[in-house]
């Protein structure tokens, strides 16, 4: 999660900036918007203000804002400064260090990484002046994203389209992420397990894997090598993550123990079945074979317990899905298992936890005062807080 200052300049693609603000906010970022006066010919300041939840800034000489020299406050506030769309004019100003409006003044004053998404007519883009400006910006460390190629609003076809908004969000997130997990190898488990009853039926649970996948994505973004052992879920593999797909608890155990030695951090968010069917049948159980059916279940291996037995210096984090006495049960599990942290969540609530996009957790350490409550947030933000806490524990 970053503080993103989004600059919008006066190209036709400025109308897409509203959707970009929405995507960034939805991804958990705090967004403030600075628009050039020309940008406001194309997009409504009210819409940008409402979507970002902060006043839209456009004027440099504002009587209401500049009593605090707020353009410098804004520049200092930003963790990432992104300009989308960036006009040919704006690229020229940025490349030459001009500062004749609020956006370009903030651009000179900020120390945040700069992400630039150009959008213009193909001939403006191909013009040697624009190409030289882009080259200068790239040499100075600006991260250029796009433009895309295709049919342009002006009727021409070629390079100049604002790239997909998802690509801009990705570039902003890469620019804003710290490298604080570089050198760490994070082993994660995620999702449910599926224990066979017969060749077509399984015993499983409602875990969607979202929490574990959010952790994998955040850890990779923060520079870690990530091995993600995933039960059967419909989640795309995050960029840069090594994924091992498994079905049963035993397969999950083998995959986890197989990667444990190289891991420095192990986080187990999977909802592993406690029991599996003792003798799954080789052929499909027939409905007519009897009036009732009894399945004999046997206990599955305790993966976390085995990890603790074999660990050599890894920081180990378990998850506790509870329906009552959240903190007491989490602390009891932490003591019983001997892990460093337990992330506890209340799965009796339908708005958080299993199979939804938000979560609210308590990150419980060994001492009673070591409880970090993370109020209801996107799983992505919760993932960042869990990793922050893991790093604190590793650094003592
Ligand atoms: C309808 C219209 C669409 C425009 N679209 C673009 C564009 O997509 N890209 C661009 O670089 N300039 C475009 N321009 C030109 C810019 O608006 C112009 O260069 C302006 O000075 C940019 O100001 P700014 O960079 O301070 O926002 C367009 C102009 C008009 C009238």
pLDDT at 353: 66
Mean pLDDT estimate for the chain:
92
Asked if the model's pLDDT at residue 205 lies above 90, the reply is yes
* Residue 277, phi then psi, degrees to nearest 5: -75, 130
pLDDT tens digits for range 258-270: 999 999 999 999 9
Extract the tokens encoding 266.
């192990």
Q: Are 393 and 340 in contact (CB under 8 A)?
A: yes
pLDDT at 62: 80
110: which residues sit within 8 A by CB, 6+ positions away? 5, 74, 75, 76, 78, 81
Sorted by where each starts, the structural domains of the chain and their CATH numbers stand as 3-176 (3.40.50.1950), 185-394 (3.40.50.10300)
Ranges 15-29, 156-170, 271-285, 298-312: which has the least confidence = 156-170
Please state, for a pLDDT cut of 70, what percent of the chain lies above it. 97
For 327-361, give one letter per residue: b (16+ CB within 10 A) or e: bebbbebbeebebbbbbbbbbeeeebbbeeeebbb
Q: Mean pLDDT over residues 254-259, rounded?
A: 98
Predicted local distance difference test score (pLDDT) of residue 159:
82
Mean pLDDT value across residues 167-186: 89
Question: Does residue 154 carry a catalytic annotation?
Answer: yes
For residue 117, pLDDT over 70 is answered with yes
pLDDT of residue 66: 67
Identify which has the larger pLDDT, 39 or 238: 39
The pLDDT tens digits of the residues spanning 24-65 come to: 999 989 999 999 999 999 999 999 999 999 999 999 888 777
Higher pLDDT, 39 or 370: 39
Ligand 1 neighbour 127 (Cβ under 6 A): no
Ligand 1 centroid to residue 56 C-alpha, Å:
20
Ligand 1 center to residue 10 CA distance, Å?
5
CA 289 to ligand 1 centroid distance, Å:
74
CA of 76 to the centre of ligand 1 (A): 28
pLDDT band at residue 140 under the 50/70/90 scheme = confident
What tens digit of pLDDT does each residue of 319-350 get? 998 888 989 999 999 999 999 999 998 888 77
CB distance 92 to 129 below 8 Å: yes
Nearest CA-CA partner of 210 in 374, 344, 380: 380
Give me the catalytic one of 50, 154, 239, 328.
154
What pLDDT is attached to residue 67? 66
- pLDDT score of 152: 87
Of the pLDDT bands very low, low, confident and very high (cuts 50, 70, 90), residue 291 is confident
pLDDT at 300: 97
Ligand 1 atom with the shortest distance to the CA of 13: 8
Is residue 260 within 6 Å of ligand 1 at its C-beta?
A: no
Look at residue 350 in the predicted model and tell me its pLDDT: 75
Q: Kindly state the average pLDDT of the residues 85-101.
A: 98
- Decide whether any atom of ligand 1 lies within 6 Å of the 10 Cβ: yes
- Tell me, what's the pLDDT at 369? 82
Token pair in block for residue 40: 């406001």
Is pLDDT at 246 greater than 80 in this prediction? yes
Contact 231, 192 (CB under 8 A): yes
For 154, phi and psi rounded to 5 degrees?
-80, -5
pLDDT at 102 over 70: yes
């Amino acid at each position: 999660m970053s503080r993103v200052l989004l600059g919008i300049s006066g190209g036709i693609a400025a109308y897409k900036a509203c959707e970009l603000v929405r995507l960034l906010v939805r991804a958990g970022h705090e967004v403030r918007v600075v628009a050039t006066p020309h940008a406001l010919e194309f997009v409504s300041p009210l819409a940008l203000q409402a979507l970002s939840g902060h006043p839209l800034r456009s004027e440099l000489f504002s009587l209401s804002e500049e009593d605090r020299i707020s353009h410098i406050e804004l520049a200092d506030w930003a963790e990432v400064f992104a300009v989308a769309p960036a006009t040919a004019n704006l690229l020229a100003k940025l490349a030459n260090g001009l500062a004749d409006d609020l956006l370009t003044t903030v651009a000179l004053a900020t120390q945040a990484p700069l992400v630039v998404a150009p959008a213009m007519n193909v001939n403006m883009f191909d013009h040697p002046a624009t190409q030289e400006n882009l080259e200068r910006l790239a040499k100075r460390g600006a991260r250029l994203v796009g433009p895309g190629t295709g049919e342009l609003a002006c009727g021409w076809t070629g390079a100049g389209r604002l790239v997909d908004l998802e690509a801009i969000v990705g570039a902003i997130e890469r620019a804003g992420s710290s490298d604080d997990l570089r050198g760490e190898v994070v082993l994660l488990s995620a999702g449910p397990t599926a224990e066979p009853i017969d060749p077509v039926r399984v015993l499983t649970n409602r875990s969607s894997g979202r929490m574990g996948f959010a952790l994998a994505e955040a850890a990779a973004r923060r520079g870690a090598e990530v091995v993600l052992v995933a039960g059967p879920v419909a989640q795309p593999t995050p960029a840069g993550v090594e994924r091992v797909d498994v079905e049963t608890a035993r397969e999950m155990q083998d995959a986890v123990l197989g990667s444990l030695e190289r891991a420095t951090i192990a986080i187990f968010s999977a909802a592993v079945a406690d029991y599996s069917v003792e003798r799954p049948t080789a052929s499909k159980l027939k409905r007519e074979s009897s009036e009732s059916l009894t399945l004999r279940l046997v206990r599955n291996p305790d993966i976390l317990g085995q990890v603790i037995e074999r660990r050599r210096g890894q920081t180990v984090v378990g998850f506790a899905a509870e329906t009552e006495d959240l903190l007491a049960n989490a602390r009891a599990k932490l003591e019983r298992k001997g892990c460093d942290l337990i992330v506890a969540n209340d799965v009796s609530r339908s708005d958080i936890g299993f199979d939804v996009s938000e979560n609210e957790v308590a990150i419980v350490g060994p001492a009673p005062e070591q409880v970090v409550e993370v109020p209801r947030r996107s799983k992505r933000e919760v993932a960042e807080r869990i990793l922050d806490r893991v790093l604190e524990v590793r650094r003592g």
